[in-house]
Amino acid sequence: MTSLQQIASVAKKAALAAREIQLKGLRDGTQISLKGGKTHDLVTVADVESEKAIARTVAEAFPDHNLLGEEGGDQGRSSEWLWVVDPIDGTTNYSRHIPYFSTSIAVYHQGRPVFGLVANPLADETFFAIEGEGAYLNDTPVQCSASTEFTQSLFITGFYYDRGKNIELTLDALRTFYGKGIMGIRRFGSAALDLCYLAAGRAEAFFEIGLNAWDFAAGAFIATQAGARVTDAAGRPLRLKKSYVVGAVPALHPQVLADLEPWKRAEELSSW
């Protein structure tokens, strides 16, 4: 029988294997290309190789589990267990040696998230959560912030790759939140880590349009286990599909959602 402790230990081993490849890529150089002919969405050889290493580690331990990875897609195995993997979240940062990127691994059982791990190899920070056991940074438990006021709150966002309607909605949101007197808004460049910063009380809210399941699955689970709320723009639980993502500490989540009312309307109209 598969236990969540076994899952945690295999996920940590997989993240370490990915880390080796990523550090080697930074030392020796790694080939960078554009994804599917898009203008700004990068992929490196280290992305592809580290996902392969993660998939190999998972398959050795759990040959019957399925895996959905950003680079390799869905392995298509019929299983109660699904691993959702982003080998490098923050490839733009990685390709420029900016030390804010991560490996993100979530595990779903019968459609529900039960485990999440997000590791920043250059900061030696591994966030993880096991269902019912809270969230951790390395070996220390973390809790989201107790802030109840916008004026004492730091927000994090991200910009969707396309330069159309969605970036306009994000820029409008910056104006809205600054108008409410928040401390500031950061754009760090790895949604998975951003959600872990919400988990660890380093920020009070996170909002981004157009994240894929592998970007948010682990981070959203970790933030939730640390006491935060993470939903789509209508306040519904996130599903394993491209999504509008709105996370915040419990006291502020209703207000953040209300301020993102235009996102809710755009989400209703979107085909995602």
Within its chain, how far is the Cα of 219 from the centroid? Answer: 4
User: Does the protein bind ligand IPD through residue 102 (CB under 6 A)?
Assistant: no
User: Does the protein bind ligand IPD through residue 217 (CB under 6 A)?
Assistant: no
User: Does the protein bind ligand IPD through residue 89 (CB under 6 A)?
Assistant: yes
Among residues 18, 22, 67, 70, the one that binds Ca ion under rule CB under 5 A: 70
Among residues 44, 91, 170, 224, the one that binds ligand IPD under rule CB under 6 A: 91
- Two structure tokens written together for 73: 């897609």
User: Does the protein bind ligand IPD through residue 227 (CB under 6 A)?
Assistant: no
Among residues 51, 89, 204, 259, the one that binds Ca ion under rule CB under 5 A: 89
257 DSSP 8-state letter: H
Integer Cα distance of 133 and 183 in angstroms: 31
Integer Cα distance of 155 and 195 in angstroms: 11
Closest to ligand IPD by CB, 26 vs 61, is 26
Closest to ligand IPD by CB, 194 vs 259, is 194
Contact 269, 250 (CB under 8 A): no
Give me Rg for the CA atoms of the chain: 18
90 touches, from ligand IPD, Ca ion, none (C-beta below 5 to 8 Å by class) = ligand IPD
Residues 101-160 that bind Ca ion (CB under 5 A): none
User: Does the protein bind ligand IPD through residue 196 (CB under 6 A)?
Assistant: no
Contacts of 252 by beta carbon, 8 Å cutoff, 6+ apart: 147, 148, 150, 153, 204, 205
Closest to ligand IPD by CB, 46 vs 191, is 191
Please, what's the largest Cα pairwise distance for the chain? 53
Task: Pick the stretch among 21-29, 187-195, 249-257, 259-267 that binds ligand IPD (CB under 6 A).
Answer: 187-195
Residue type, 165: K
Among residues 49, 51, 86, 208, the one that binds Ca ion under rule CB under 5 A: 86
Q: Which residue is nearest to ligand IPD (CB)?
A: 158
Task: Pick the stretch among 5-13, 87-95, 173-181, 195-203 that binds ligand IPD (CB under 6 A).
Answer: 87-95
Strands (E), the chain: 32-34, 42-44, 66-69, 73-74, 81-89, 102-109, 112-120, 125-130, 135-137, 140-142, 154-157, 184-186, 205-211, 229-231, 243-248
Contact 6, 130 (CB under 8 A): no
Size of the site for Ca ion (CB under 5 A): 5
The partner residues of 81 in beta bridges, in order of sequence, read 109
Contacts of 76 by beta carbon, 8 Å cutoff, 6+ apart: 66
Residue type, 212: N
Among residues 25, 69, 90, 121, the one that binds ligand IPD under rule CB under 6 A: 90
Closest to ligand IPD by CB, 4 vs 240, is 240
Q: Which residues bind ligand IPD (CB under 6 A)?
A: 86, 89-91, 158-160, 189-191, 208, 211, 215
Q: Which residues bind Ca ion (CB under 5 A)?
A: 70, 86, 88-89, 215
